[in-house]
Amino acid sequence: MKKLREPENLLVHGDNLVALAKLRARFAGKIRCVYLDPPFNTGRTFAQYNDSLGTQEWVAMMRPRLLALVPLLAEDGAVFAEIDDTQLAHLSLLMDEVFGAKNRISTITVVRSATTGHKAINAGPVHVSDFILAYAKDKKQWRYRPQVRTRDGLDPAYGTWLDDPDAPPARWSFRSLRTAIAEKLGHASSRAAVAALGKGAFDRQLALLALANARHVVRFAQPRYEAIGRAAQAIVDRSRAEPSRVLVLEREGRSPFIVRAGNRILFLGDKVRIVRGRPAIVEPLTNVWTDVPFQGIAREGGVVFSRNKKPERLVARVLAMATDPGDWVLDPFLGSGTTAAVAHKMNRRWIGIESGDHLATLAEPRLSRVVAGEDATGISLETGFVGGGSFTVMEL
């Protein structure tokens, strides 16, 4: 891991409105990504801060703080604001007002809890989500760093087995994936395999063996005719006229366009990536995140910040899509220090602002452990971060 340039990261103790104004001289136009997780105005009083303002008071608190972010942001920078549904509508309007509706990147739904405990007895549907409102300073200049998520289980659309993917396509022959896997397991048919193993066990074996043999596993997908180029349209037309033949259109710099009976052949192998050291099936990230566990984060960073702490993996995903190593990241509502810890482990530079006393009791000790290489929680393992770098504490 590259060593961070030092000393540069900044932990600021004080009100963020004052801090943001002070940072302007040094950081105008330098911040590539802001992640902010303000008080949600839930009506509760936490040990560390009061979370019950009137809505108008809350909006009046947020507006100048969002406005103060604008001059700090790089022209190709972006802001990600996390909120639950208490103030979702007001924050959306505020973000539109401050950053412009045309610069809205996405509204991400983050599933944060299961339907257990007291939440299940609320009147109405059980609330299990947060939202992240993502805005670019200028969407034309902002660049998305594409992200994937791992898929649990096999997409049932991948139901076909190709015996010899290395043979010329004209000689390819296809059969049912279930039959091919049953035979690999020594059974005459998938029905015989289910009878012998049970459906659950056979399906698990099927998913494992499909992943292990992903080059052989395909699906047929109807191309969106109007969305493909002329050459691809021509080959689709030909393929419809000669449905038993496999036709290939080679394309420079892209995977070949392969069709049979007018349908495109897609390979499971193209969706396999190594994730945390193991092959996994991935698909493009959507704006519904169900795969970042909030459960089990109580001990992340070695600090207790009940109900407020966000998972390191959540912030890591935001930083992965919006920053590159060395970029400046800002969190004006730092809380227990999650954003700073994640940015540090991902080799980004960071500024965290927190007005509460827990800056000294939670965030600072947490970040000191990160720097010392003593924090093995959160994303430490997957980033391979072993310590290093430094930060400065600034009192306002």
Decide whether 51 or 190 has the Cβ nearer to ligand SAM.
51
Query: Are the CB atoms for 76 and 138 separated by under 8 Å?
Result: yes
Write the burial class of residue 156 (CB in 10 Å: 0-12 exposed, 13-18 middle, 19+ buried).
exposed
- Tokens 């929680």 belong to 377
Decide whether 37 or 364 has the Cβ nearer to ligand SAM.
37
DSSP state letters, 261-319: TTEEEEEGGGGEEEETTEEEEEEE--SEE--S--TT-TTGGG---TTTPPPHHHHHHHH
Decide whether 38 or 262 has the Cβ nearer to ligand SAM.
38
Q: Shortest Cβ distance from residue 312 to ligand SAM (Å)?
A: 9
Residue nearest to ligand SAM (CB): 335
CA 286 distance to own-chain centroid: 8
Decide whether 257 or 328 has the Cβ nearer to ligand SAM.
328
Q: Shortest Cβ distance from residue 309 to ligand SAM (Å)?
A: 4
Decide whether 262 or 301 has the Cβ nearer to ligand SAM.
301
Decide whether 18 or 111 has the Cβ nearer to ligand SAM.
18
Characterize 351-383 residue by residue with b for buried, 16 or more Cβ atoms within 10 angstroms of its Cβ, and e for exposed: bbbbbbebbeebbbebbbbbbeeebebbbbeeb
Q: Shortest Cβ distance from residue 295 to ligand SAM (Å)?
A: 15
Considering only CA atoms, which of 173, 182, 174 is closest in space to residue 206?
Answer: 182
Q: Shortest Cβ distance from residue 144 to ligand SAM (Å)?
A: 23
Question: What residues line the site for ligand SAM (CB under 6 A)?
Answer: 15-16, 37-39, 48-49, 305, 308-310, 333, 335-336, 338, 353-356
Q: Shortest Cβ distance from residue 372 to ligand SAM (Å)?
A: 20
Q: Shortest Cβ distance from residue 96 to ligand SAM (Å)?
A: 22
Q: Shortest Cβ distance from residue 314 to ligand SAM (Å)?
A: 9
Q: Shortest Cβ distance from residue 86 to ligand SAM (Å)?
A: 12
Decide whether 354 or 364 has the Cβ nearer to ligand SAM.
354
Decide whether 86 or 205 has the Cβ nearer to ligand SAM.
86
Report the run of H or E that residue 361 belongs to, with start and end: none
Which amino acid appears at position 69 of this protein? Answer: L
Characterize 110-133 residue by residue with b for buried, 16 or more Cβ atoms within 10 angstroms of its Cβ, and e for exposed: bebeeeeeeeeeeeeeeebbbbbb
Query: Are the CB atoms for 20 and 65 separated by under 8 Å?
Result: yes
Per the rule left: phi > 0, alpha: psi between -120 and 50, beta: everything else, 325 is: beta
